[in-house]
């Protein structure tokens, strides 16, 4: 008996968002795995049309799916993606950055994974106006969320040959919040004696990533540092068009490129679909279709190595042609 198709919700969003999710969907359709895609609206255009950046129907569609493919939203991105991450209970944002053969980049030996805490820190949305001239933002850190992300990072490191875990913090200034974050990281580290563990200040980590990124394997950090360092990591390997991410929780999973809606290149067929296609590969892995996930990754790697790429990587292909090139190499 054939398997039931996987139910996937696609939320393209704004600008290049729908262009890259369409490319990812085409690649998924070409794998031979059965999918049932449903499309939902969100973002700036949706806000202008309906008064809501994230309509209830979209939220329900995401909650009902076995996996969500998200593109990007524009100015309303925070309203859309932060709410989706929260409502789906995705406590970690997994952001791999790996240098690819054939792609000109600063550091060909980069192969790291940022485990970004996804629910708190300065993203908790606790801001206040004390006086018209004095405003505050509260950095929320809890033992529970810190322990959960640390455990996720250590389990991943253990399951991948005892890779080194680096906890990235700013405990010399953020004494209480990063003090608690590190306390929980250390507590979890003690349960994984086989996994090498280090702690490093975020400013020096930024420098070390630029100078010698091969020092890092699994990086675990709070929400805002993870946001910033993941764009830095994208820069190391050749740009934002290459970096996927997975928002994971106990019940739901949402996959999105690290990049935004890139309004500067929207509508021109120029967007690099690689990040979105690698999101599709991560979705396949999440669904247990590991072999197909590996096939998609191998096809992407072959295209990158052969220069079958979009203009941001020095190639000549359009978004659609780049997706077709991956499909042609799926085998
Ligand atoms: P951005 O990531 O959209 O773009 C930064 C630069 O990288 C631009 O020059 C862009 O052309 C380029 N770029 C990004 N993705 C690319 C791709 N796939 N192929 C080729 N080039 C690519 O960041 P930004 O310009 O700071 O933000 C633009 C908008 O996106 C803002 O409104 C922001 O709020 C939003 N944003 C949304 C998300 C999201 O929805 N998850 C994430 C980040 C930013
Ligand atoms: C990202 C984005 C989002 C974030 C924004 C758009 C809210 O920058 O996914 O990296 O800060 O998490
Ligand atoms: Mn970001």
At 54 the three-state DSSP class reads coil
| Residue 28 CA to its chain's centroid (Å) | 18
Q: Catalytic positions, please?
A: 123, 170, 203, 227, 231
pLDDT tens string 185-244: 999 999 999 999 999 999 999 999 999 999 999 999 999 999 999 999 999 999 999 999
pLDDT of residue 228: 98
DSSP 128: E
Together in a domain, 119 and 213: yes
Give the Cα separation of 319 and 234 in Å (integer).
19
pLDDT higher than 80, residue 111 = yes
- Residue 71 structure tokens: 């593109």
Together in a domain, 159 and 221: yes
Beta bridge partners of 22: none
- Residue 231 structure tokens: 């764009």
At 297 the three-state DSSP class reads helix
pTM score, whole prediction: 0.97
Split at pLDDT 50, 70, 90, the class of 3 is confident
DSSP 3: P
**Cα of 234 from ligand 1 centre, angstroms:** 12
Together in a domain, 135 and 27: no
pLDDT higher than 80, residue 327 = yes
Together in a domain, 146 and 233: yes
Domain span at residue 178 reads 106-237
Give the Cα separation of 316 and 16 in Å (integer).
18
Domain tally, the chain: 2
Environment of ion ligand 3 (residues, CB < 5 A): 227
pLDDT of residue 144: 98
CB-based contacts of 204, cutoff 8 Å, min separation 6: none
Together in a domain, 228 and 247: no
Together in a domain, 113 and 181: yes
Determine if ligand 2 sits within 6 Å of the CB of residue 300.
no
Split at pLDDT 50, 70, 90, the class of 66 is very high
Q: How much of the chain, in percent, has pLDDT values that exceed 90?
A: 98
Together in a domain, 265 and 225: no
Question: What CATH number should be reported for the domain holding residue 37?
Answer: 3.40.718.10
Together in a domain, 135 and 64: no
Of 179, 202, 237, which residue sits at a domain end?
237
Q: Torsion angle of alpha carbons 313, 316, 321, 327, nearest 10°? A: -60
């Amino acid at each position: 008996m054939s398997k039931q198709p996987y139910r996937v919700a696609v939320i393209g969003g704004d600008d290049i968002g729908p262009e890259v999710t369409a490319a990812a969907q085409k690649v998924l359709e070409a794998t031979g795995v059965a999918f049932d895609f449903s499309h939902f609206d969100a973002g700036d255009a949706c806000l202008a049309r309906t008064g809501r950046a994230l309509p209830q129907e979209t939220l329900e569609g995401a909650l009902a799916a076995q996996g969500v493919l998200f593109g990007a939203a524009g100015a309303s991105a925070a309203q859309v993606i932060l709410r989706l991450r929260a409502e789906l209970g995705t406590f970690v944002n997994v952001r791999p950055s790996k240098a690819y053969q054939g792609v000109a980049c600063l550091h060909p030996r980069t192969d790291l994974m940022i485990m970004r805490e996804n629910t708190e820190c300065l993203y908790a949305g606790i801001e206040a106006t004390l006086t018209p001239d004095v405003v505050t933002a509260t950095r929320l850190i809890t033992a529970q969320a810190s322990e959960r992300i640390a455990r996720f990072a250590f389990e991943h490191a253990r399951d991948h040959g005892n890779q080194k875990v680096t906890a990235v913090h700013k405990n010399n200034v953020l004494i209480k919040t990063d003090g608690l974050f590190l306390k929980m990281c250390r507590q979890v580290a003690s349960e994984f004696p086989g996994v090498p563990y280090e702690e490093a200040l975020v400013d020096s980590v930024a420098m070390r990533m630029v100078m010698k990124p091969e020092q890092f394997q699994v990086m675990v950090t709070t929400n805002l540092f993870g946001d910033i360092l993941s764009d830095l990591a994208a820069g190391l390997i050749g740009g934002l068009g290459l970096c996927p991410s997975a928002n994971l929780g106990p019940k739901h999973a949402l996959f999105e490129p690290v990049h935004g809606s890139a309004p500067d290149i929207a509508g021109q067929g120029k967007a690099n679909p690689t990040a979105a296609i690698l999101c599709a590969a991560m979705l396949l892995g999440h669904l247990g279709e590991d072999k197909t996930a590996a096939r998609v990754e191998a096809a992407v790697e072959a295209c990158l190595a052969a220069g079958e790429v979009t203009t941001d990587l020095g190639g000549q292909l359009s978004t659609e042609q780049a997706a077709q090139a991956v499909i042609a190499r799926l085998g």
